Amino acid sequence: MQALRRVFALNQNASWTRTVLATQQKSCLLSSSSILDIGIGLSAEKRQIQELALTFTQNEVAPHMQKWDAEHIFPVEMFTKTAALGFGAIYCKEEHGGSGLSRLDASLIFEAIATGCVTSSAYLSIHNMCAWMIDSTGTEEQRAKWLPQLAPMSRLASYCLTEPGSGSDAAALKTTAKSDGNYYVLNGSKAFISGAGATDLYLVMCRTGADGPKGISCVMVEKDTPGLSFGKIERKLGWNAQPTREVVFENCRVPKSNRLGPEGSGFGLAMRGLNGGRVNIASCSLGAAHASLLAAREYMTVRKQFGKQLAEFQALQFQLAEMAAQLVSSRLLVRQAAQSLDSGDPGAPAVCALAKLHATEQCFDVCNRALQLFGGYGYLLDFPVQQYLRDSRVNCILEGTNQVMRMLVARDIIGRLGDA
């Protein structure tokens, strides 16, 4: 069995650095502390799903995390393997190959995979979000055509909302889709699109009507459509295992049958997609923080200064305790947001915004503190915490900046001033 073989290989470690690194990979699954138990509060059934994702991550994702980052590899083969387990369309209906599971199951899976590579988990969550948008809003033909390809991840999807001139002010987007018989002609560009150039299907929010959100529709554009091109691959602080590029439309003709939902419904669809997307990206932050915290804990039992293990210094113990408070509070809030979505709670969007706000910020801080606990070694690219830090930083920005999240949360609080 692969696990046993790797155990024997790891026994050949000579250097101290490699010894520390070798124990990092295994630490995520093995916490015997109930506070840091990644399955806290979960039923046996949910734990089984989480276990599958964690084991897969330990074997197929974590060992490659640093290489994918250093060499800027988009690990398509690994995604195909995740899809074979049912991770490609987790909360889509089973009819066309989805797994028919809940937002909570999805959160557990993305958190687990993020312990092995935040970037890959993030892309997987974006693909899942796109698949769901088609599954929930598409016509029978659209669902029957696309889901059998998206669920196994034989085709990959990207979500295109942001433009150079409209990020937080998403409804001000300018990409136009002018009607021309049975086609739309798209003109404009999208910015910061994850997976652009490497994916096959682009869900594009574009303007079919007047200004404002009600003039926006969602149109699916297949790669190789004439008039579709891409900007250069952006050089980023993190998320290097994924190409991010501008997507450019120049008189790009797309059949009207590729429109998802009625004209003018695109913005609402995009926002509904983002509710789940926020839970998912927050889940990725949880994975990064979990891995970083366990790595720091492990390091503190190995590293000695002043004749004592770092773990014996109270100031550092208090760091771990505070990090645990940040991680576990975030975890519980994210899972609650997932459950709110699952139960159709009308207040769910605000809970999702709150969870995204809290988890992405707190978990980034956990990664930052973990890096500090590693001392000088934390700054070296050989050690994984710097990658969790770099990869989780953007989670505070995308899927709605944390400033927009504050707006949404405040609106929910004040908007209900009329209630008791």
How far is 332 from 107, CA to CA, in rounded Å? 11
How far is 293 from 284, CA to CA, in rounded Å? 14
H/E element, 353: helix 348-373
Minimum CB–partner distance for residue 135 and another protein (Å): 16
How far is 173 from 342, CA to CA, in rounded Å? 30
Q: Which residues of 37-75 are buried (b: 16+ CB within 10 A; e: fewer)?
A: ebbeebeeebeebbebbbebbbbbbbebbbebbeeeebb
The only residue of 33, 43, 305, 314 in contact with another protein, by rule CB under 8 A: 33
Assess 14 for contact with another protein (CB under 8 A). no
DSSP 248-316: EEEEEEEEGGGEESSTT-HHHHHHHHHHHHHHHHHHHHHHHHHHHHHHHHHHHHH-EETTEEGGG-HHH
- Nearest to 150, CA basis, from 122, 169, 127, 124: 127
In this complex, which beta carbon is closest to another protein, that of residue 5 or of residue 235? 5
Assess 55 for contact with another protein (CB under 8 A). yes
Assess 86 for contact with another protein (CB under 8 A). yes
The only residue of 13, 42, 52, 183 in contact with another protein, by rule CB under 8 A: 52
Q: Which of residues 94-133 bind another protein (CB under 8 A)?
A: 94, 99-101, 105
How far is 332 from 324, CA to CA, in rounded Å? 12
Assess 26 for contact with another protein (CB under 8 A). yes
Assess 9 for contact with another protein (CB under 8 A). no
Minimum CB–partner distance for residue 108 and another protein (Å): 11
Given the rule CB under 8 A, which of 93-101, 136-144, 211-219, 305-313 is the region that contacts another protein? 93-101
How far is 275 from 106, CA to CA, in rounded Å? 13
Given the rule CB under 8 A, which of 28-36, 176-184, 219-227, 315-323 is the region that contacts another protein? 28-36
For the chain, state the CA radius of gyration: 22
In the residue annotation, 60 being an active-site residue is answered as: no
Given the rule CB under 8 A, which of 50-58, 201-209, 220-228, 356-364 is the region that contacts another protein? 50-58
Residue 224 tokens, joined: 């190789």
Assess 91 for contact with another protein (CB under 8 A). no
Assess 11 for contact with another protein (CB under 8 A). no
Given the rule CB under 8 A, which of 86-94, 234-242, 358-366, 376-384 is the region that contacts another protein? 86-94
The only residue of 9, 70, 76, 84 in contact with another protein, by rule CB under 8 A: 84
How far is 54 from 3, CA to CA, in rounded Å? 13
Given the rule CB under 8 A, which of 79-87, 121-129, 141-149, 255-263 is the region that contacts another protein? 79-87
The only residue of 30, 315, 414, 420 in contact with another protein, by rule CB under 8 A: 30
How far is 201 from 182, CA to CA, in rounded Å? 20
Residue 326 tokens, joined: 């940040």
Minimum CB–partner distance for residue 15 and another protein (Å): 17
Instruction: List Cβ neighbours of 67 (8 Å cut-off, separation of 6 or more).
Output: 73
Minimum CB–partner distance for residue 362 and another protein (Å): 25
In this complex, which beta carbon is closest to another protein, that of residue 79 or of residue 239? 79
Choice among 60, 163, 263, 399 that is catalytic: 399
Question: Which residues carry out catalysis?
Answer: 399
Binding site for another protein (CB under 8 A): 1-5, 7, 26, 29-30, 32-34, 44-45, 47-49, 52, 55-56, 84-87, 90, 94, 99-101, 105
